[in-house]
Structure 1
């Protein structure tokens, strides 16, 4: 058994909320960089929330961003460099 499965739902939910609040605070951490390092980003997390909660993707992303994604994007997202895009593509390829 994976020890992750032994963590109670309340503790897991608390850790999840802490992660989401950390990502909200660190708006300087661009999604393309998260994708380049870890193969997932805020959008992925929002999509996973939507899937788990049975809600649409926009609502899942709103929950993660704390606002509509378009608003967050206008306020915080910068243009991705070719190097960032290359790292992201290489990292995402590992997810398969």
Structure 2
């Protein structure tokens, strides 16, 4: 397989993952994704930001989130996220440290 075809297939898979998480499973909480899989929608948006920045494209965290979520993050969060329990928050602290690093 040539590099361009591989790139296009990877991009299509990413778009499908994004659509699945945003349209079909908006009910799945970011904290649960992070606790179970070690990444969430915010991680995906951060990876987009990091890829843009690595290519010399200035993109803020908020810009990347709006691009990924299709709206300002706070709007999406208000529409789709629920309050996390104490157990979820404790698991998140551990998962975040293991998968992302110290919170800034």
The two structures share one fold, judged by TM-score above 0.5: yes
CA distance in 2: counterparts of 1:63 and 1:78, whole angstroms: 22
Provide the residue aligned with 1:19 in structure 2: 17
Shift of 1:15: 0.3
1:32-70 deviation per Cα after TM superposition (whole angstroms, max 9, x unaligned): 111111121111111110111232211211121111101
Please identify runs of 4+ aligned residues in structure 1 that moved more than 3 A: none
Provide the residue aligned with 1:67 in structure 2: 71
Contact 1:37-1:88 at 8 Å conserved across structures: no
TM-score, normalised to structure 1's length?
A: 0.84
- Could you list the runs of 5+ residues in structure 1 that have no partner in the other structure? none
2:39 is aligned with 1:40: yes
The alignment's C-alpha RMSD in Å is: 1.7
TM-score, normalised to structure 2's length?
A: 0.78
Provide the residue aligned with 1:85 in structure 2: 89
- Could you list the runs of 5+ residues in structure 2 that have no partner in the other structure? none
Provide the residue aligned with 2:8 in structure 1: 10
Shift of 1:93: 3.1
Secondary structure of the equivalent of 1:79?
A: coil
Aligned length in residues: 91
Q: Once structures 1 and 2 are overlaid, which stretch shifts more, 14-23 or 82-91?
A: 82-91
